[in-house]
Structure 1
């Protein structure tokens, strides 16, 4: 039963996430500016601090264009559901301040990430544009492929903690971080997160050089802003999740937020450093590299657990 206090706390969390999304966009533009030896936004407000809010006002006050031959209802609702799914996932973060918490948060997380595929597919198909359709097909194939890696890595880690609740990861990492125990898995998880959130070098859902703009070709103004916000909310969420899974810091500590900020910085750093992958290499990486690594780790942890049980008996 969800109490009124939990619901109010969750709504406050969502407000903070949306404000954080605004400043993550500013952080990204600043970091990319310095990587490319330029300043980045610095005109609106002190050192450009009000730039995200100026961008939001500009996007949401622009005229919304709708393609004549589009399927209007799914076209209109897809960005809304995209942001909704991205924000719904934040329920699983085990905060200790009266938020909604439940014992099967990992299963709920996998359900939410799977739902994100449908919003992308609906946005591309309902636009009734060849470029949008190509972009959404590529995005769906990419997301489904990397979800397999994510699920298998989670299964490997579940073998260690013996449950499907994210709060267990914090308890079990009090003495030893899983980053040390399963460093290759951490790298595979981070690369899969890049692919899952459509970030460089795996940003094929919005491949401007090949697809005009990908599945969001026909979106402008508010619709584009909602898709944009959903992507950055997912980046923040994946940063928090990486910190919980592999660092295991307490959510009430300062170090947790420092580590999550560093992971978000890595998302931007990689965008400013690496060129885009080739699409066939992306799929090859998922099925021929990441899948064997995650399966081997899963079998290794399973074997170790069975050996420990047999030894103790």
Structure 2
């Protein structure tokens, strides 16, 4: 199996041989920052273009097809437009908080990249409480949204922010319980341990029906937490103009727009790691030859392939299901998903204690 340990170790050894430990830490931090920003920029361009193409396919039309082959430069043109567009601040707004809110949302998204294993031997921070870290940090994004809604001094923005807060806080419960099913089966909160535990099969296959139920609940909750249709009540155009970012324009709006797509990538990367083996290839029990062939595919391709498959699912939801009402959205969580998640967690605990999984 291909591993990036050799590359990361050679960079580490090269720096250690020439610089003090303090400068090594500083330079490695700068490298991580540059790579994270580059990843954000690339994902923003790719995911927006992909969303438009998926929407066009669902609606039997072409989508972007002018700038570049298959319209691949359309998002670059949109980015240039947003960079050149004037950023306006309403007269009655709290100027500091109004300008600060987009950065809160983006900083939270950047922090969530740390424990994710993008490939075999390529991870920013292999923390032993990775799952707990992700659950804690992801909860902070709602603060940026609430700040944006309140600081805008706009009733539509405030209503959108309050809706988003209620929605995110509610669906975090089901998402957290779904994640706990994998923690119970693995016996570890460390992301690398969760990936290694799926060496002989991904949890969605060897964890029986309860893990499939947890996976479905996780995808629904992740869609709601990222304010995606059919759960986009925080930005309902027919009711709230644009919700919490009604008053935003230019690059401040672009940061909110980018953060939404980055969060989609992050929740899908977490789902791929927990349920679909992360960078681990597809292995079938004792099928040695088959497993050996699967190992020839680079681990990064496995990881991004699974992640983009889940991203496609979430985009598919948007162009398939109609938007729910607020009461329907909250009823779905508190009356259905949460009780099912609690019972499912007990069932998975029983499976783990009795060692009934494959």
TM-score over 0.5 for the alignment?
A: yes
The 1:5/1:35 distance shift into structure 2, 3 A limit, reads same
User: Matched residue of 2:233: which SS?
Assistant: coil
User: Matched residue of 1:65: which SS?
Assistant: coil
Matches of 2:279 and 2:27, distance apart in 1: 22
Alignment map for 1:69-88 (pairs within 5 Å): 69-88=92-111
Say whether 1:94 aligns with 2:117.
Answer: yes
> How far apart are 1:8 and its partner, in Å?
3.8
Task: Give CA deviations for 1:159-194 in whole Å, capped at 9, x if unaligned.
Answer: 111111111221111123221321111000000000
Say whether 1:163 aligns with 2:188.
Answer: yes
Match of 2:249 among 211, 216, 220: 220
Matches of 2:200 and 2:316, distance apart in 1: 30
Question: Do 2:183 and 2:189's aligned partners in 1 also have CA atoms closer than 8 Å?
Answer: yes
Gaps spanning 5+ residues in structure 1: where? 309-313
User: Matched residue of 2:201: which SS?
Assistant: coil
Match of 1:123 among 126, 148, 157: 148
Say whether 1:262 aligns with 2:284.
Answer: no
Matches of 1:65 and 1:14, distance apart in 2: 25
Matches of 2:54 and 2:181, distance apart in 1: 34
Number of positions where the alignment pairs a residue of Structure 1 with one of Structure 2: 309
Higher-Rg member (1/2): 2
Counterpart residue number, 2:334? 287
Question: Do 2:114 and 2:123's aligned partners in 1 also have CA atoms closer than 8 Å?
Answer: no
Say whether 1:274 aligns with 2:318.
Answer: no
Tell me the TM-score normalized by structure 2.
0.82
Matches of 2:305 and 2:45, distance apart in 1: 18
Match of 1:300 among 310, 332, 347: 347
Say whether 1:137 aligns with 2:157.
Answer: no
Question: Do 2:113 and 2:124's aligned partners in 1 also have CA atoms closer than 8 Å?
Answer: no
Question: Do 2:88 and 2:249's aligned partners in 1 also have CA atoms closer than 8 Å?
Answer: yes
User: Matched residue of 2:244: which SS?
Assistant: helix
Question: Do 2:83 and 2:251's aligned partners in 1 also have CA atoms closer than 8 Å?
Answer: yes
Counterpart residue number, 1:24? 47
User: Matched residue of 1:299: which SS?
Assistant: helix
User: Matched residue of 1:125: which SS?
Assistant: helix
Matches of 2:300 and 2:87, distance apart in 1: 43
Tell me the TM-score normalized by structure 1.
0.93
> How far apart are 1:13 and its partner, in Å?
3.4
Matches of 2:149 and 2:130, distance apart in 1: 30
Matches of 2:124 and 2:180, distance apart in 1: 25
